[in-house]
Amino acid sequence: MPATLDARSQELLEAKNFAQVGTIRSDGSPHVTPVWVDLKDGLVWLNSAEGRAWPKNLRREPRVSLNVQNLENPYEYVEIRGRVVEDTHKGADEHIDSLAMKYLGQDTYPYRQPGEERVIFKISPEKVFHQG
């Protein structure tokens, strides 16, 4: 059952805070990586390039855990457990550019590699815990 993000949790996701994304590897061990994060229509949006480990993990096992820590107060964070409800390439290039503006103040994502294909994962929150 989807969970609703309270106003402060939404603020943490909309601010320039990184998300630590926890996925499960094929051998059952955890994999955690920092990523940029976005919030749209109650869903958490993550953007990556094809070929990276955590997107492969999410496609095999769509359950995910996110921790978004307030960069201004590291004792405040929101933990979100949920699952992937959409995996799409549509709009992914534009989305990474909007994240580049949010996190770097640049109009376009400066680290794009030749031939890179971007993907958006939309996460539906199932459990939300805000601390701080």
Number of structural domains the chain divides into: 1
Strand partners, 82: 64, 125
Q: Which uninterrupted H or E stretch holds 126?
A: strand 118-131
Residue 30 near residue 53, CB atoms below 8 Å:
no
Residue 67 near residue 77, CB atoms below 8 Å:
yes
Residue 1 lies in a domain: no
Look up the CATH number of the domain holding residue 75. Answer: 2.30.110.10
Q: pTM of the entire structure?
A: 0.94
Give the Cα separation of 60 and 70 in Å (integer): 30
Tens digit of each residue's pLDDT (9 = 90 or more) over 96-116: 999 999 999 999 999 999 999
Domain that holds residue 109: 7-131
Residue 2 lies in a domain: no
Q: What is the mean pLDDT of each run of 10 residues along the chain (132 residues)?
A: 89 97 96 97 96 96 97 96 97 98 97 95 97 91
